[in-house]
Structures are given as structure tokens and as C-alpha cells.
Structure 1
Amino acid sequence: MWMTCNYGAVLTSYALYRTLERMGKKVSLLDFSYTDRQKDACTVFRKFLAQEKLSIIPMHNLDHAYYMNDHFDTFMVGSDQVWNPGFLGSLFFLDFAKGEKRKIAYGPSMARHDKPSERYLRKISGLLKRFDAISVREQGMVDHLRKYFGCDSTWVMDPVFLHSREQWLKLAQPAEGAGNSVVSYILDPTESKRKLLLDISSRLEAPLLNMVDIQKKEINNRELLNLPGTMEEATLNDWLGNIAHCKYFITDSYHGVCFALIFNKPFICIDNPLRGSGRFISLLELLHLRDRMLPEHADRIPDGTSLEMNYETINQILQAHMEQSGQWLLDALSKKRPEALEHYNRSTEKKLTRKPPTRWQLMKRKGKRLLIKVYHRLVRR
């Protein structure tokens, strides 16, 4: 969901795009923007994508996705919480892709790991069986998919780790003073987080440089954080540069943690259950860094918490898992399709592939909308 005006969402999609290019593929992002904010060419997010010359294909509506079958031989659903049941129905399970098209999932999340409804299970299980290869971003999702959906998957690293530190540094442009500052990126400001930032700033005797989520114009997170040194609207180059060059980093963002690790920065992260704790825990436990995550309402650093980090072992673990993840993706793009999968896709083509509505179905939709309008007018009278 790269179009959602969120730093992590754009950069994880950018990283996967560039990785696929390095593997010799011609790549495009399908654009399902549905709000004016997401479509606005003047946002820092759209400007970044234009600056980097990424190929983007706008979709007039979700039904239009079916016609992409005429232009691509492989469809891939990327990382982040694209398999969250609340997001755009079954679009991110590639329900529009024809049976003969290669389908790959690289690192999606579901956010929730409780038992889905029987209706959801039936529909999604069938769509998952159409995939050529499935990987997930959290270790817990491997068991979840096997238990409820009868689906095998592989645990991989978020795409941002497939793009090297050197490549990210080429994009990083720090704000003035970032090198001597405690830099923060806060998605959901609270009074406890505000106090925590001030506590760390005081302990390190360093000024604060704060960045906030700017996804929704109607929510002023800068005002909610209410701290000096908070940027109005960081560009993506600012965002990367401030993390890469800071003295210390604090965040309640999963991708904030990822980039602190990529740039080898000492950091503390704050649990964010609203947006999903599992992704933090999965990554931090892999790297033996569970102690770097504070509870959601922490307002100060616990006594005895080290503000320094040794990255030698961390980098060794990261490197091994990055290589495994890159190899998984390369194999998924090149391996021969099993005959059983070919047969399943042919036999379920008509049932599972969502096609554009017929003329009669469009007339029914218009008629239904008209009846709803008439009903509401009558009720108001």
C-alpha cells in the first residue's frame, strides 16, 4: 500500500521495486489511490517517486485491475500489512490475476493472528492456493497461515533490508544539526512519548529533532507532539538522512526501527499495539534486541538501560537473513511451476478470478445507488 502517504509504506515498496530491477525485471507499481491526499502530486511522497522515476500505472477503479493481465506475466503483492482483513477486500490476494499468471507474495502481514471467520477462510484459502510462492514478514504468520489456511510460507526480511546501506545513504539528506541531535519519528503522539523524548534528550544532553506522521492532513501530529524542533513536513530524503546521521533515534514505527538497524544507530522503540506489536517482536527477537522495546506508555528510560549498542553481532545476523530472503525472491521468480498448481489455477479460473462487471451488473449497481438516494430523501422528509 505504497500510496498511503506513509514514509515506511513508500520506502518498503521502493526497495522491492529496486531489488526486482537488479534481478533483471521490468517493474511497475499499480496505483489504487482512493483519496485526494493519496493522489496529490505535490505531496513529498509523490515527489519522491517522480524524482526516482518509478513506473506507476493508475487504476481508475478496482475492476480495472483485471486488464493488467494483458501487460504483465507476474504479479507480486508486497510487504507491510496488506493482508490485514480491513484493507480492500481480496485485492491484495491478487484476486484479479488470471490463473496462468505467476503470483508471488513477498513479506505481507496480517496484523491479527486470531481465527478468521469461516466465510473469510473459505475465500482466502482458495486464493492463497493460487500463489506460486508465499513469504511473510513475521515469524508468527508462518504458523498462522499453516494452521488456519493450510498454506506453507517462508519467513523473510522486510524489503528495506534488501536495499543496501550504501544505496540508502545515496538518498539520505539530513537536516541541519541532525548529527548532534536525538532524532525521533513518532506515528502516534501521546503525553508519555513526549516525556520520554525529553528524558532521553536530557540524559544525552542533546537537542531533539522530531519527525511525525503526515498521512492525514486533518490530524496535526506536530501540534499533538508539542515539542520544539519538530519538522513541519520532512521529505523522504530528510527522513532517511535524519535517521542515518543522528546521535540517537527513538520511534514507535516498525520501519523506523528497520532503518535504525540499517544505519547502525543506537535506538529505543516504543510498542505500538494499535498498529501491530508482532512485527516489532519478530524482528527484535531475531536480533536478540527485545530489550530495546519499551511498553506503550513508558515515559522515561528504565534505570540500567544502555544507551549504546554494539552492531557487530547484529549485522552478522542481519546479513545472513538478508541473503536468505534475497535468494528466496530470486527462486520464486525463476522456478518452474508445478503441474498441480497449473491444474488448480485452470480449474478455479472462473470461480476465483474477479472480472470487471458486465453491462447488466453495472446497471444493477446504478439502480441500487438510485434506490438508496431515493430512500434517504424520503426518510429526511
Structure 2
Amino acid sequence: MRIGIVTFHFSNNFGAALQAYALRRWLTEAGYCADLINYSPSHVEHGGDIRFSVSRRAILSNLKVIYLKQAHLRTQLFGNRRQRHLFERFRRENLGISGQKYTKLSELELIGDNYDLLICGSDQIWSPSVQYGLDPAYFLKFGKVPRRISYAASFGSADYETLTTCDIRKLLDGLDEISIREDSGVDLVRMISGVKGTKVVDPTALLPSYQHLIDSAESVDDEGHLFCYALRTDAGVREISQFVSSKLGLEVVAPRNPHSRWRAIGSTRHPGPNEWLALIARSSFVVTNSFHGTLFSLLLKKPFLVAAIPGKKVGLNDRMESLLKSVGLHERLVYDVNKGAISGLLEIPIDWESAFEKLSRQIGHSERFLIRQIELAATPKSIA
């Protein structure tokens, strides 16, 4: 049994790197040969190609391409070199990636037949980009494979109208089984294709421990701090962190995300995935607006508050809402910086036993889903 995974393994993003690691590790520990297929299209982070057209759609696409290209160049020229090294080392030592890098769907045809099961992995792989739309590679449109499934795929903040414009129904029809990470994603799949998708946990929740990664972190001397992790915007996160810091008397330590464009919140660190985990593990409190920041606060049993993302990207809150509702901690998601309400939340201890009891049931359900899909891939269709 050989399993191929297609996901955002290449991004210098803590959650993206760790979800790729977790799914592959769970599969290999279960006794299967699992590869992260080294598909790294330029449009995801480097912008892609300029369109030679004067249509409104092409102009918007080109503006996005230019923005991503200059952001990537700025990071390469002025970003923290040690942080880039830590991400590269994590991919080299923990993701098992080797051999050729593929940048186009057509190139994947050369290797698709090598697998018994293909999985399009977690993260926002089904979120259409302005300049490219939906990538068929993240719906496994290549090779002659016995079985194709999604595991904990996410649409990000995409809505029904946007997805149908991208003709997503045909892409979904090629999958033998669909599993999604958020409640909103389950609803979208049903509306678009009429299929009842399965809700499963993010792969990072499948692993019982991350101590081996935390222990191998480089030079993390912080202890007992407030860990502040903002993604996409600092709105809300900054204000809540500063207020909680003053109430609890904690130093604010914030990891610098390679993609952030706002002034520092507290004392800045430049971690790789291992060090990012260690900063959470050694903290006394977490404030974040990130899905994986929220999930790892839960997994590492750290008191936390989640700042809801405002404005046009409000749809991204679905990820945190779905997770927190499922473990009975929805009140930890803060929509307004109301100091009185936040003070009240700080006085309420988190019922970790109840939260983990609920999470454990979801993990068991998700593991059974994966095991069943592997069994079906190993069974000839004439028998199945």
C-alpha cells in the first residue's frame, strides 16, 4: 500500500507545515508508505504568471500576482534567514520530501500511477485564488489511481457563489470520498454536489504528542509568557494581548510570521515549526486569531482567547467557530474587544477534561474514516 498526499507542505507557515507533517506521520506510524508529493505551484505563494489582457478579471489577477511576487522578493531579501533555515530543515528532516519538485498538473501525470491511494490533504487547498481560481491538482485530477479522497480539506472563506463560478462541482465529482474540516465546508459540499461529506479533525489533532518536536527546538529560552500569534491581521489580537498581558502580568512574546505586514506585537521571535510549538508549550496564556494557533493551544492545554477576524475576511472565523463549538469552548472566541467580558473569561477555568472527551470522540471518528478509505483502496473494485 503506497499513499500519496498533495497539500501545502512547502509554505513557510507554521500550521501548513505541521498539518502536512501530522497526516504523513499518522499514516507511517499506522504502517503505510506515505509520501508528500512535492507539488509546489508558483501561483500559491509566488503569484504565478502575468495575464496579457485588459479585462477586469485579468487586471485584478495581475495586481495579485505583482503583490505576491514583491512580497516574496521582500521576504527573500529582508526576511529572517535563520527562520527560513529552520523551515527548510523542518521540511528536510520531518516531511520526508525527496526527488523532483513538480510545478504543473501535467507533471504529476508521470507519478500518479505509482500510488494505491491519493489524499488531498488539509489546509485551505480548496480556497480559490484571485489569479488562478481552483487548482485541479488539489482535487487529484491526475494519474490512474484506485482511490482518491480528501482529508480535512478547507474552503477558507470562499462562499457558494464563488465556488460555483469556479465550476467546483466537476472537480469534486472526481473524488471517491470527501471529508472536510469545518461545518461550513460540509454545508458547501452538500449544496454544490449533493454529497454528504464527512467532517473530520485537522490532521494535527490525530497525533497524541508533539513532545519530540518541542524537545528538538532550537534556543527557546522563553517561559511563562503570553504567546501572541496573529495571522492575516493584527486587528483585535493586539488589543486583547495587551489587555491580558496587563491583567496577568505576562510578557508578550510574538512569533514573526514570514507573511505578516504589521508592526511587532510585544517581543518578536523568529521560530521554525519546532520552535513555534515550544513557544506555545512554554507559555502561560495564548491569544491568537489562527486556526492552528487555537488548535495547538487546545492540544497543549494552554489557557487561550481567540480574536475573531474582522472585515472582509470574517468568513475565516468559521474554522475557529467549528473547532471551538465541537469541544464546548465557543465562548473563548472573542468578537469585540470588550474588556469587561474579557476579564470575566480570564476568571473562568477551561474544563480540559470535558473538551478532550469531546475531541477524543472526533479523533476516533476521523481515524476510522481514514482506515476505511485505506481498506477500500486495498480492495479490488470487483470485490468491493
TM-score normalised per structure 1: 0.78
Conserved 8 A contact 1:249-1:265: yes
Deviation at 1:285, TM superposition (A): 0.7
Structure 1 partner of 2:184? 140
Q: Per the alignment, do residues 88 and 59 of structure 1 end up closer, same or farther by CA in structure 2, a change over 3 Å counting? A: farther
Instruction: List aligned pairs for 1:123-272, cutoff 5 A.
Output: 124-165=168-209, 168-172=210-214, 173=217, 176-190=220-234, 192-215=236-259, 220-221=261-262, 224-227=263-266, 229-231=267-269, 233-272=270-309
Contact map agreement 2:140 2:148 (CA 8 A) in 1: yes
Give distance in 2, aligned partners of 1:117 and 1:9: 22
For 1:64, the equivalent position in structure 2 comes to 107
Q: What is the CA-CA distance between 1:116 and the residue it aligns to?
A: 4.4
Give the corresponding residue for 1:6. 13
1:194 deviates by 2.3
Given residue 263 of structure 1, which amino acid in structure 2 is its aligned partner?
L
Shift of 1:109: 0.9
CA 1:210–1:119: 2 relative to 1, 3 Å: closer
- For 2:332 and 2:282, locate their aligned partners in 1 and report how far apart those are by CA, in whole Å: 20
Q: What is residue 104 of structure 1 aligned with on the other side?
A: 149
% identical equivalent positions? 26
CA RMSD of aligned residues (A): 2.8
Q: Is the 8 A contact 2:20 2:121 kept in 1?
A: yes
Matched with 1:370 is: none
From 74, 82, 95, the equivalent of 2:141 is 95
* Kept in 1: contact 2:20–2:95 (CA 8 A): no
2:334 to 283, 287, 294: 294
Q: 1:220 to 1:330 in 2, by over 3 A?
A: same
Q: What runs of 5+ residues in structure 1 fail to find an aligned partner?
A: 343-381
Contact map agreement 1:174 1:240 (CA 8 A) in 2: no
Once the 2 structures are TM-superposed, how far is the Cα of residue 177 of structure 1 from its aligned partner?
4.9
Query: Is there any run of 5+ residues in structure 2 with no aligned partner, and where?
Result: 1-7, 47-68
SS of structure 1 residue aligned to 2:178: strand
Whole-angstrom CA distance in 2 between matches of 1:196 and 1:282: 21
| Deviation at residue 193 of structure 1 after TM alignment | 2.9
CA contact (8 A) 2:306 2:334 kept: yes
Aligned equivalent of 1:332, options 361, 373, 378? 373
SS at match of 2:354: helix
Q: Kindly state the Cα deviation for residue 46 of structure 1 after the two structures are TM-superposed.
A: 1.8
Match of 2:159 in 1: 113
Letter in 2 for 1:139: D
Change (3 A) 1:191 1:106: closer
Matching of residue 281 in structure 1 with residue 321 in structure 2: yes
Q: Quick one: which of 315, 319, 322 aligns to 2:356?
A: 315
Q: Which residue of 1 aligns with 2:117?
A: 74
* Counterpart Cα distance in 1 of 2:183 and 2:163: 22
Alpha carbons of 1:163 and 1:113: their partners in 2 closer, same or farther (altered >3 Å)? same
**Contact 1:252–1:269 (8 Å) recurs in 2:** yes
User: Does the Cα contact within 8 Å between 1:192 and 1:299 map onto a contact in 2?
Assistant: no
State how many pairs are aligned.
329
- 1:109–1:137 CA contact under 8 A, matched in 2: yes
Match in the other structure for 1:377: none
Q: Which residue in the other structure is 2:96 paired with? A: 54
For residues 351 and 363 of structure 2, the distance between their equivalents in structure 1, rounded to whole angstroms, comes to 19
User: Which whole-Å CA distance do the structure 2 matches of 1:288 and 1:310 have between them?
Assistant: 9
Q: What one-letter code is carried by the residue in structure 1 that aligns with 2:94?
A: E
Report the 3-state secondary structure (helix = DSSP H, G, I; strand = E; otherwise coil) of the residue aligned with 1:104: strand
**TM-score (normalizing by structure 2):** 0.78
Q: Is this contact kept in 2: 1:27–1:55, CA < 8 A?
A: no
CA distance in 1, matches of 2:95, 2:189: 36
User: Which residue of structure 1 lines up, in the alignment, with residue 57 of structure 2?
Assistant: none
Name 1:364's counterpart in structure 2.
none
Deviations along 1:15-61, one digit per CA (max 9) or x if unpaired, are 001011122221221223324969x9954222112122613451143
Shift of 1:299: 7.1
**Native 8 Å contact 1:271 1:294 kept in 2:** yes
Structure 2 contact 228–286 (Cα < 8 Å) conserved? yes
Change (3 A) 1:55 1:285: same
Aligned equivalents of 2:309, 2:235: Cα separation in 1: 14
In structure 2, what is the Cα distance between the partners aligned to 1:132 and 1:188?
Answer: 33
Conserved? CA contact 1:175–1:241, under 8 Å: no
Give distance in 2, aligned partners of 1:70 and 1:117.
29
